[in-house]
Amino acid sequence: MKMAELSTVSAVAVATIKFYLRERLLPAGERTSPNQADYTEQHVRRLRLIRGLLDVGGLSVAEAHRVLDALDSEQPLQQIFGVAQAAVSEHIDPASVPASALARVDSVTDGWLVSPDNPGRLAAAQVIASLEAIGHLSARGWVERYAAAALLIAEADLDEIDAIPDREGKAETVVVGTVLGDALFSGLRRTAQEHVSALRYQPGSAAHHHPSLAESP
């Protein structure tokens, strides 16, 4: 298909597609004349993926580039996981994280097969150091319950990847799940917080009922 059709089918403006081509996020089409190229279903698919990574996942163009390069490489899935994780993680200098906070993360994740430079390990330790400084580091198992739920989510992620038959689909699922999974989870977490706090603080309040449960006034 031509550029105009690619734009219509993908619902992405021509100027935006040209930007992605210039930035090499989107591979060039097959040139059919000096100023025309042919695009395929693969381009439509890739365009939608780029939109998801940039708009919903919040990646920068440079981060999306690294993630898509990993996707197109023949790297093993675990490496692609690493690249996707790094893209969605702020870089943290390990030296800036207090040893006591790292020790707390390691104790909560005791027995897990994790490399010391896992970006999530450092990020979790940074949060724990901050909670400790504020005087809000729970001794009541709050962090432990977060770790248990994180394990359930990781099992769900890996089951999803395992269920995809082809290697390319698996790799794409790794990237999509890593980048969009945080946003999905934090959205559902806020939804669940409203639900549980309504149950505890306002039992029977009609104002907080789920639309499908709302009774007539």
Considering only residues 69 to 108 of the shown chain, the ones binding a copy of itself according to CB under 8 A are 76-78, 81, 85, 88-89, 105-106, 108
135 lines the binding site for a copy of itself (CB under 8 A): yes
Nearest distance, CB of residue 31 and a copy of itself, angstroms: 27
Residue type, 152: L
Judged by CB under 8 A, the residue of 15, 91, 136, 165 near a copy of itself is: 136
Residue numbers 138-197 binding a copy of itself by CB under 8 A: 138, 140-143, 145-160, 162-163, 172-173, 176-178, 180-197
Q: Which is nearer to a copy of itself, 29 or 53 (CB)?
A: 53
Contacts for 115-121 with beta carbons within 8 Å, 24 or more apart? 118/85, 119/85, 119/86, 119/89, 119/91, 119/92, 120/85, 120/89
Q: Which is nearer to a copy of itself, 36 or 60 (CB)?
A: 60
Percent helix, strand, coil in the chain, to 5, is 70, 5, 30
Report CA Rg, the chain.
22
Q: Which is nearer to a copy of itself, 28 or 196 (CB)?
A: 196
What residues have CB less than 8 Å from 105, skipping those under 6 apart? 121, 124, 125, 128
9 lines the binding site for a copy of itself (CB under 8 A): no
7 lines the binding site for a copy of itself (CB under 8 A): no
52 lines the binding site for a copy of itself (CB under 8 A): yes
